[in-house]
Amino acid sequence: MQPLYLLTAVDVRRAEVAGDSRATTIVKITLPPITFATASHNPGGGVGSVDFLLPRVETVEPAFEAKGFDPSVFGVLGTRDKWTFAGALKDKKTGLDIPARAIIEGAVQEWTPDDSAPDEFAGCNHALKEVTHYEFLIDGEELWYWDFWERVIRTKGVDHTAGTRRALGA
């Protein structure tokens, strides 16, 4: 039977900067969807069209929302960096707390403050672009690994691009 995980807490931090946790200011994280690219084929003599999956991933765009103003983000705005999107999952059957991690390399491309008033806690949205690395792990097990520069796509350890790299001789 599949475990039932309940998300109980989140954090976003620069992966290689000590003390960069936003655990007390983060409101939500948006992990980017994993969408494989397709090539549409509609043969003239066929009976229908097919969108064939390609060993390629569409643009990866994570985001996060925090309350208050985060001056440290302005130090990396428009600059690529490595980020850890962390989650605490509660296994509802065992009661154990399970770590979930997305390691993402990209640049904060957009900072958007919410409408606010003095009696409201202002929120700020942060969107990342130019993402070239995205891996996702639950309890240390790699479920997803994608790296633009390495030309690697893996799901649960299965390398979907090894044959392509071999065919190219790289």
Q: What is the pLDDT of residues 45-104, one digit of tens each?
A: 999 999 999 999 999 999 999 998 888 898 999 999 999 999 999 999 999 999 999 999
Percent of the chain with pLDDT over 90: 87
The pLDDT, as a whole number, for residue 48 is 95
Amino acid code (one letter) for 162: A
Q: Where are the domains of the chain?
A: 5-39+49-135
Q: Can you give the pLDDT at residue 89?
A: 98
Ranked by mean pLDDT, which of 70-74, 119-123, 145-149 comes out on top? 145-149
What digits encode the pLDDT tens for the residues 27-44?
A: 999 999 999 999 999 999
**pLDDT confidence of residue 66:** 93
Architecture in CATH for domain 5-39+49-135 = Roll (2.30)
Closest CA to 149 of 137, 128, 131, 163: 131
Q: d(Cα 126, Cα 77) in Å, to the nearest integer?
A: 10
DSSP β-bridge partners for residue 65: 28, 125
With a cut of 90, say whether residue 157 has pLDDT above it.
Answer: yes
